[in-house]
Structure 1
Amino acid sequence: MIRPHELAAIRRGELDLAFRAWDRPRVRVGTRMRTAVGLVEVTEVERVALSALRAQDARRAGAASVQALREVLSGRPGRAVYRVGLRWAGPDPREQLREQIPDAAEIARIRAWLDRLDAASPHGPWTRATLALIDRSPGVRAPELAAELGRETLSWKADVRKLKEKGLTESLAIGYRLSPRGEAVVDAGGPPRERAPRPSGTALPRTIGAPATRGLLAEGITTLEQVAERTPEELRALHGVGPIAVERLGEALAERGMAFRPG
């Protein structure tokens, strides 16, 4: 588990280590993890002694001090301490895939794949109903969507991730929407469905959390460009938008050459 602000720092190249107390290694060198900031690659996994940790290790892992790092790791007695090297390995390849509009032959292959998912599912056919529901309910929370289909949330979200692997859906700060690729698959063989225009601008980062996202949406703020029109003080005054969320918004703005409006 890597916290959102740590992911942002890894992407900026400010952090490149993590330390974990495990009963055994949970990752290996070369592992690439899909995260909210793209791919994070494991560059080393080494067992280390707690007493061997130094101030430089703490800085590279984002800890306040080496003592603070040792206290966190010593809270799990009987576990070995592992040093894990990390680096940002680029954007999630699914981001490019979901923009690629399939031709008729590829649509046929995708539909055959959906048929296989339906046939193998213990819940019965679910792929078309899920795509249709996300299509008509973008930005709705997963528990509400799952309940509408009579599904348990975690199980249904696991199924949605299968669709995301094929570039058919994309996760929003809250809920999902169909990608252009997914829309093409849903519309194939019939008239295109009328949909609201896709919002222009840069989407709010998922790292700010759901309460902050709801607070911004309630204020009509849906993009980073709109965030840049506000001061940090104005944003912190919104319900659910706390100091940490504002800090992460500032990081997201800086990565794109933007900043908050001066106070």
Structure 2
Amino acid sequence: MLFEKRFWVGVADGSITVTFRRWLRPQVLAGRSYRAAGTIIDVVAVDVVDLMAITDDDARAAGYPDAVSLVDDLRGDASRDTYRIEFRPSTKPDPRAALAADADLDDGDVAEISRRLDRLDRASAYGAWTRQTLQLIAAHPARRAGDLAEMAGRERTPFKLDVRKLKSLGLTESLEVGYRLSPRGRAYLDRVGLPA
């Protein structure tokens, strides 16, 4: 679930526990966990609400000063239902962290990772990038994303989006500045004989 950057800290620290969305149909389900604002949240409830029923307390829980500000900021088609989504920071472990830590790769794991990397390469408008990016991160851990993008001859924003795709496969880890290969990513490069 996407949040504007101004809400990220509140979502992560639990001070924001509600959001409102105009949707054709619900995009999240109560009882499920979702990645949002760099963290994982558990959705507690999803309800259709009348705009006039949104209270100032709801607005403050969503990171706004009052209901008027929240309603004025709602995006999307006004003819669609407005959903009130209540959530909390998850206490469950991040599944990507567990995947990233798993360096015990068998032949099937290596083949599946290769298949998924090949698919990302084929879908790219600028050609194969996955393995080059893994090697670049391995050679320059904790290097700024902008520096890595420049080394790869790419723009920073699309480069960062692509690194997120590698992270979702458990191959990289984000640092305070830059990235590093995860144990899984390093094991993969070792198994396929690419220098790390």
Q: Which of the five TM-score ranges fits, normalised by the shorter chain?
A: 0.7 to 0.9
Distance 2:144 2:61 in 1: 36
Distance 1:63 1:76 in 2: 11
2:178 corresponds to: 175
Q: Does 1:139 align with 2:142?
A: yes
Which has the larger share of strand?
Answer: 2
1:6 corresponds to: 10
Contact 2:143/2:178 (CA < 8 Å) preserved in 1? yes
Q: Does 1:184 align with 2:187?
A: yes
Give the counterpart of 2:105 among 85, 103, 107: 103
Distance 1:171 1:62 in 2: 26
**1:176 Cα deviation from its structure 2 partner:** 1.2
Distance 1:169 1:132 in 2: 11
Contact 1:170/1:177 (CA < 8 Å) preserved in 2? yes
Distance 1:35 1:76 in 2: 18
Instruction: List per-residue Cα deviations over 1:160-189 (Å, max 9, x = no partner).
Output: 222111100011222211111111112236
Q: Does 1:71 align with 2:65?
A: no
Mean Cα deviation higher: 115-124 or 177-186: 115-124
Distance 1:48 1:5 in 2: 26
2:62 corresponds to: 61
Percent of residue pairs bearing the same amino acid type: 39
Contact 1:18/1:61 (CA < 8 Å) preserved in 2? yes
Structure whose alpha-carbon radius of gyration is higher: 1
TM-score normalised by length of structure 2: 0.75
2:84 corresponds to: 83
Distance 2:23 2:37 in 1: 27
Distance 1:86 1:94 in 2: 20
Q: CA RMSD in A?
A: 3.1
**1:7 Cα deviation from its structure 2 partner:** 1.5
Residue correspondence of structure 1 range 212-223 to structure 2 within 5 A: none
Distance 2:38 2:156 in 1: 24
Instruction: List per-residue Cα deviations over 1:119-166 (Å, max 9, x = no partner).
Output: 443322212210011111122222221221122333322322221111
1:104–1:82 distance in 2 versus 1, CA, 3 Å: closer
**1:115 Cα deviation from its structure 2 partner:** 3.3
Which structure 1 residue ranges, 4+ long, deviate > 4 Å from structure 2? 23-26, 75-78, 189-193
Instruction: List per-residue Cα deviations over 1:176-211 (Å, max 9, x = no partner).
Output: 111111111122365985xxxxxxxxxxxxxxxxxx
Residue correspondence of structure 1 range 1-263 to structure 2 within 5 A: 1=3, 3-10=7-14, 15-20=16-21, 22=22, 24=24, 27-30=27-30, 32-35=33-36, 38-64=39-65, 68-75=66-73, 79=78, 81-89=82-90, 90-105=92-107, 106-188=109-191
Contact 1:139/1:177 (CA < 8 Å) preserved in 2? yes
Give unpaired runs (5+ residues) of structure 1.
Answer: 194-263
Alignment coverage as a number of residue pairs: 186
**1:33 Cα deviation from its structure 2 partner:** 2.7
Give unpaired runs (5+ residues) of structure 2.
Answer: none
1:74–1:25 distance in 2 versus 1, CA, 3 Å: farther
